[in-house]
Amino acid sequence: MTTEQSERELAGVGCQAPAEQAPPKIIVIDDDSAICLACRKILLKEGYQVQAYEDGLRGLEAITTWKPDLVVVDLKMPGIGGMEVLSRVHEFDPHIIIVVITGYATIDTAVQAMKCGAYDFLPKPFAPDPLRLIVRRGLEHRRLVIESRRHEMERELIKRRFVSFISHQLQSPLAAVHQYLEVLRHLEDSPETAAKRREWLERCLKRIAELEELIRDWLTLAKAEERVLVAQRYPIDLRPILQGILNSYEQMAAAEGIRLEARLPEQECLVWGNRHCLNVLFDNLIVNAIKYNRPGGRVSVSAQPLGDGQVAVAVSDTGVGIPEKYRRFLFEEFFRIPRQEGEAKPGTGLGLAICRKIVTEMGGSIEVESEVGVGTTFYVRLLAPPETAEGRRARLEQTA
């Protein structure tokens, strides 16, 4: 039950289907019934939902119950005036857009209204067009304000979660090591305890190594975020990079009976990138392809210039595959596919987040195709170097 629950939770992250957008709601308040009716008619024709009131108090009441997006209000009315409506509305909701209608269009009253939070003003008499225009602009303004507030809240939430999550990731291994050491300190010296002692010390070292890896990955990610990693780009031949990584994992793959294949072009395969970044990127993808493979499986790496200024690289495995429901979370920081006990592999959950960051920073893209039980392929697109005189010179310098 709990797994399902958290999957649902996860599936809900950032993927809320946009609700069918209802037309914006507008309230018009003007004691002049002719203006009230005219505004209502014009705005209804624009497709908005409109309510019109000739009385300020009734208008205010409607604002608190109907919650409009925008209010058009006459500044000078008997009883409650426009200026008071203005302040009362913003007490209720500071993001409702208010357009004031003013019969005595002096700069002063307009300025005063704007100071009190009005978005814009319409001097009487006015034609339909300025009304339409101001309303449209006001609604667009409201949409942007709401959107940026939402983004800010989302960012805040992600930041808060990230901090508490990373703390947990750092604290768990520390707590385990701490607890082992405390038990070891009280452990009597005897032949029976010697094996335990050794085993626990090994476990401590392993947890510390994992912690170090996590910190290293996290720093790489932070650097990628600061655009430090890809600040300097050169034309770089992908073939030696890919071949080098494959060679370095030859033994690790052989131990699992996994075959490593490279299908690389005869001629240079240049991309516009940073050597360190490219190494980190393909190291991550190739290690994953080995790690999540099956015994006796195959990892194949291919690279191909596309001739349209892009280079395509594919890293495929014949492994367990990635269930469709998890694919869209794959590149998220700390996302790890829930696995059965015994199937879990060590890892920080940051590898693919780093890959995406690097690829994006280099102006490329990364995509995944997968079939459960058959295998997974990561498709990376990178930019070929712009063939300028400078580029050629840099290339010559690099290869020299």
Partner 1 sequence: MNPSGKTILIIDDDADFAEALGAALEAAGFRVLRARDGHQGLKLAKLEAPDLVLMDIIMSERTEGFFAIQEFRRTPSLASTPIFVLSSLYDAVADFRVAPEAGWLAHDAFFSKPVDLEELIRAIRQRLGLNAAVREGTG
Interacting residue ranges for partner 1, rule: CB under 8 A: 1-2, 5-6, 160, 164-165, 167-168, 171-180, 182-183, 186, 196, 200, 203, 207, 334, 338, 341
* CA 310/CA 362 separation, integer angstroms: 12
> Which residue lies nearer to partner 1 by CB, 218 or 282?
218
R_g of the chain, CA atoms, integer Å: 31
> Which residue lies nearer to partner 1 by CB, 57 or 337?
337
Q: Kindly give, in sequence order, each residue whose CB lies less than 8 Å from that of residue 262, ignoring residues fewer than 6 positions away.
A: 242, 243, 246, 300, 301, 302
> Which residue lies nearer to partner 1 by CB, 168 or 198?
168
To 10 degrees, the CA torsion angle through 355, 356, 358, 363? 140
| Continuous H helices in 292-328 | 324-327
> Which residue lies nearer to partner 1 by CB, 141 or 336?
336
> Which residue lies nearer to partner 1 by CB, 148 or 171?
171
Shortest approach of partner 1 to residue 169 CB, angstroms?
A: 8
Shortest approach of partner 1 to residue 386 CB, angstroms?
A: 43
Under a CB-based contact definition with an 8 Å cutoff, are residues 332 and 353 in contact? yes
* CA 136/CA 70 separation, integer angstroms: 10
Of 68, 63, 72, 76, the C-alpha closest to 122 is 72
* CA 282/CA 61 separation, integer angstroms: 62
Shortest approach of partner 1 to residue 307 CB, angstroms?
A: 44
> Which residue lies nearer to partner 1 by CB, 22 or 195?
195
Shortest approach of partner 1 to residue 174 CB, angstroms?
A: 7
> Which residue lies nearer to partner 1 by CB, 337 or 394?
337
* Residues present in the chain in total: 400
Shortest approach of partner 1 to residue 235 CB, angstroms?
A: 41
369-382 burial, b for 16+ CB within 10 Å, e for fewer?
ebeeeebbbbebbb
Shortest approach of partner 1 to residue 202 CB, angstroms?
A: 11
Shortest approach of partner 1 to residue 334 CB, angstroms?
A: 7
Q: In degrees, to the nearest 5, what angle opens at C-alpha 122 toward C-alphas 120 and 123?
A: 135
